[in-house]
C-alpha cells in the first residue's frame, strides 16, 4: 500500500540523517496520499540507517494504523502531523527535524526573522519563522500548538524541541524547506555573533513582491 510513498519517505529520512538535520532516531516524516487520504508515516525508535520501505506505517487521519508490515509503531509525534493535515488539507508532506542551529533558536523560543530574501520561498506570512509554544512531545497539546503556528507559516520552530517544514507538493520539497530552516538559523546565529545586534529584516510586503523576471523570453 502506497509503495512509492514509502520509498520516497525512506530515502528522504536517510538523506536528512546524512545531512545532519536529525541524528539516530530523532525526527519524523510523513506523506499524505491525495486519492485515499491515507498517510505514510515514519516508525518510532528506528535508526534510519536500518530503515526500509517496509518499515513505513500507513495510517488514516483518525490516528488508526492501517498497515505496519514489520510490526513497528508510527512515530509518537504523529498527532502533530495529523493536525497539520486536518488544518491544511492541501498539505502533501511534513518533515520534523532536530537540526542544531534551528533547535538552538527553538530552545530560546526565538523566531527567526527574514534576514535574506530567499525566505520568500518558505511560505511565511509575517516575515519570520514562528515558534510554537512548548508542550510535551507526542501530546495533543503540542499538536494543537503546531496546528495554530502552521496557519502562519510552512516553516515552524517548536519551543525547546526542533523544527517542522510543511509542503503542498511532495516530501522532497518539505525536506528542502527543513534544510533551509537550518541554513537560515545558522546565518542568523553568525550575524548575531558578529554584530551583536538584531539585523535589519525584510518586511512581508517586500517578500510578496517577488516574481519571475518578465524580461526572460521563451521560444514558441
Asked if residues 75 and 68 have their Cβ atoms less than 8 Å apart, the reply is: no
| DSSP-derived pairing of the beta strands 155-158 and 131-132 | parallel
Secondary structure of residue 175 in the 3-state scheme: helix
Marked catalytic residue, from 50, 77, 173, 198: 77
CA 157 to chain centre: 9
Three cell numbers written together for 211: 516574481
Cell digits of residue 131: 515558534
220 CB neighbour count, 10 Å cutoff: 3
Q: Which residues contact residue 8 at a Cβ distance below 8 angstroms, ignoring those fewer than 6 apart?
A: 31, 170, 171, 172
Known catalytic residue at 77: yes
Alpha helices per DSSP H over the chain: 3-18, 78-87, 100-108, 140-150, 171-195, 204-208
Calpha distance 124→43 (Å, rounded)? 29
> Rounded to whole angstroms, how far apart are CA atoms 216 and 140?
49
Distance, CA of 57 to CA of 73 (rounded, Å): 7
- Specify which residues 57 forms β-bridges with: 41
| Catalytic annotation, residues | 77
Amino acid at each position: 500500500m502506497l509503495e512509492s510513498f514509502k520509498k520516497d519517505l525512506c530515502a528522504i529520512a536517510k538523506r536528512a540523517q546524512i545531512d545532519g538535520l536529525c541524528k539516530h532516531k530523532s525526527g519524523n516524516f510523513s506523506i499524505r496520499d491525495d486519492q485515499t487520504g491515507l498517510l505514510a508515516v515514519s516508525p518510532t525508535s528506528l535508526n534510519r540507517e536500518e530503515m526500509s520501505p517496509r518499515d513505513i506505517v500507513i495510517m488514516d487521519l483518525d490516528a488508526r494504523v492501517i498497515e505496519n508490515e514489520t510490526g513497528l509503531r508510527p512515530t509518537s509525534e504523529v498527532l502533530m502531523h495529523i493536525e497539520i493535515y486536518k488544518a491544511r488539507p492541501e498539505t502533501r508532506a511534513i518533515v520534523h527535524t532536530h537540526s542544531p542551529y534551528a533547535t538552538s533558536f527553538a530552545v530560546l523560543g526565538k523566531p527567526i526573522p527574514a534576514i535574506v530574501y530567499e525566505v520568500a520561498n518558505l511560505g511565511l506570512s509575517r516575515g519570520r519563522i514562528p515558534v510554537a509554544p512548548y508542550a510535551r512531545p507526542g501530546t495533543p497539546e503540542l499538536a494543537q500548538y503546531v496546528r495554530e503556528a502552521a496557519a502562519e507559516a510552512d516553516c515552524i520552530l517548536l519551543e525547546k524541541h526542533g523544527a517542522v517544514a510543511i509542503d503542498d507538493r511532495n516530501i522532497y520539497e518539505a525536506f528542502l524547506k527543513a534544510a533551509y530552516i537550518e541554513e537560515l538559523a545558522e546565518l542568523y546565529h553568525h550575524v548575531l555573533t558578529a554584530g551583536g545586534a538584531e539585523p535589519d529584516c525584510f518586511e512581508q510586503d517586500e517578500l510578496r513582491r517577488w516574481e519571475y523576471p518578465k524580461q526572460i523570453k521563451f521560444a514558441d
